[in-house]
Each structure stands twice: as structure tokens, then as C-alpha cells.
Amino acid sequence: MIELIRWQDIVDILIVAFIIYRILLLIKGTRAGQLVIGFIIIFSVFYVSKKLELATLGWILNNFVSSIILIIVVIFQDDIRRMLIALAKNPFFRNISYVKETLFFDELINACVILAKRKTGALIVIEREVGLEEFMEIGIRLDAEVNTELILSIFQGASPLHDGAMIIREGRIKAASCILPLTSQDNIDKSLGTRHRAGIGITEVTDALSIIISEEKGIISYSYEGKIFTNISGDVLKKVLQETLR
């Protein structure tokens, strides 16, 4: 007798599919994505060893699989943290008109170009879905529109706020002089200093996008999903921001 599909079954499938989809989005392009592929390979080999009765290999993999939960927690701790605090989508421009959105991009890009020309170091972090509240608590709270002159004054050498990062949320400057975690990567360019490492680090533990201005070379870089892209123009940066924030 064929059983009819209940509406609860459909809801159940949709919820599971959504959870899997969100997890895949979070690990896409990260170290976690590569490690997931590694786990799939290990489980495949484990399955084959059981079928072919390879006792030694099966014993080794069986002990590994039995500790898989602990291994996942240790290896994926940053990604699990990011997933748990990204439960609800927080659109960047949800309360901003089109005019203000256009001004936001123009003012921010103009400030970055001027900072690069002046070789003034800066680190600007743009919050997306994952909240950056814990990093703002360490810095100086602000609540101001994104304005070229304000950004330039914050990062000029005589300013008490020039050290650390500026954090932007929903198109407004929310904090400055914030301390960020440094990247855990050991294969990045050795010439990159603490500012660049912090800019990469925040994008490893959250989904934020960071903009880094080098005071040594006077170039603009940005970091997203743990990757850094250096020596880009203002036009390229604007395109990246528009695509990422929308």
C-alpha cells in the first residue's frame, strides 16, 4: 500500500535542505570546505575497507571515525562559531535608501583612494550577516554616516582612533580603534604586516569584508572569506563591495 506524503514530510525536507544549504554557504571557499572533502574520502575508504574486509585499515579508520565528533569540533571551531551566530540574515542596506546607498559607496571608495595616495594606513571592516558586536566592545563606539572627511580624520596619524579597525554596520560607522584577531594562516606573504593579518583574520571567523590600506606601499587591498586581494583600484573595490553587500 502506497503511503501518501504528509505536509509535515515536505516541511521536514525543506528545513533539512535549508540547513545543508546554509552550511555549504558558510564553508564555501574556506579551509572547512577542503576538510569536508577530506572527510568524504576517509569515509569512502572506510566503507571500502569494510566491504573488502581489510582488517588493519578498517581498525585504524574505525578508531578515527569513533572520535569524529571531537575532531570536527576542534578543527571546525571557528566555522561552527560563525555558523551558530549567523542564524538570521541581516541585509546590509535594509534601512538605507538608494540615494544613501550610492553616497555610501562613493564616500567610502573616495576615502580609500585618498588614504592610499597619502600612504595612510587604515583597516575598515564591513559587517555582513555575522554580527561584530564583540569586536566593537573593545573599540570606541561611534554612530556616524560614512563620510570621506570623517574617515580621513579617524585614520590620520594624530588621531587617537587611527590604531585598530573601523567597523561599519548597515551603512554607518559604528566603532573605531577595534582590535581584531590575526589570521592563523602561515602561507601568506611575509611582507604583510599586522594590519593585513588582522584584515584577513576577521574574514576567517566571520563573513565580513575588510579593506586594508598599506602605509608602506600606498596600495588598497581587501580580504573576504580568508583570502586577500592586493593592489586593486578604487573602481575594482567599488564593484566588489556592490556585489558582496547586495
Give the domain CATH number at 146: 3.40.1700.10
Query: Does one domain contain both 135 and 205?
Result: yes
Report pLDDT for 244: 86
Position 93 pLDDT exceeds 60: no
215 shares its domain with 164: yes
Do 66 and 109 fall into the same domain? no
| Pair (50, 115) in one structural domain | no
Winning range, highest mean pLDDT, from 22-26, 36-40, 208-212, 240-244: 208-212
**Continuous segment of H or E residues that includes residue 122:** strand 122-126
Give the lowest-confidence range in 95-99, 133-137, 202-206, 223-227: 95-99
From the list 40, 36, 61, 63, the residue with the least C-alpha distance to 50 is 61
Q: What is the pLDDT of residues 18-66, one digit of tens each?
A: 877 776 666 655 556 666 777 778 778 878 878 887 888 778 877 777 7
Same domain, residue pair 227 and 106:
yes
Average pLDDT over residues 71-97: 59
Radius of gyration of the chain (CA): 22
Q: How much is the pLDDT for 84?
A: 59
pLDDT at 87 over 80: no
Q: Which three cell numbers stand for residue 7?
A: 505536509
pTM for the structure as a whole: 0.65
Number of domains in the chain: 2
Of 85, 111, 139, which one is at a domain's C-terminal end?
Answer: 85
Q: Is residue 90 part of a domain?
A: no
Cell of 240: 566588489
Q: Are residues 111 and 225 in the same domain?
A: yes
Query: Mean pLDDT of all residues in the chain?
Result: 82
Of 209, 200, 199, 213, give the one whose Cα is nearest residue 239: 209
74-85 mean pLDDT = 62
Residue 115 and residue 186 in one domain: yes
Q: Is residue 1 part of a domain?
A: no
Whether residue 229 lies inside any domain: the answer is yes
Query: Do 132 and 174 fall into the same domain?
Result: yes
Q: Do 107 and 70 lie in a common domain? A: no
Other CB atoms within 10 A of residue 60 CB: 13
* Strand pairing class (165-169; 140-145): unpaired
Q: How far is the C-alpha of 195 from the C-alpha of 221, rounded, in Å? A: 11
User: Does any domain span residue 92?
Assistant: no
Domain that holds residue 35: 7-85
List the single range of 3-17, 87-101, 121-135 with lowest mean pLDDT.
87-101
Tell me the per-residue pLDDT of 172-191, one tens digit each, with 9 for 90 and over: 999 999 999 999 888 888 77
Q: Which three cell numbers stand for residue 82?
A: 560563525
What's the CA dihedral at 145, 147, 151, 156 to 10 degrees?
-130
**Residue 174, domain member (yes or no):** yes
Regarding whether 129 and 17 lie in a shared domain, the answer is: no
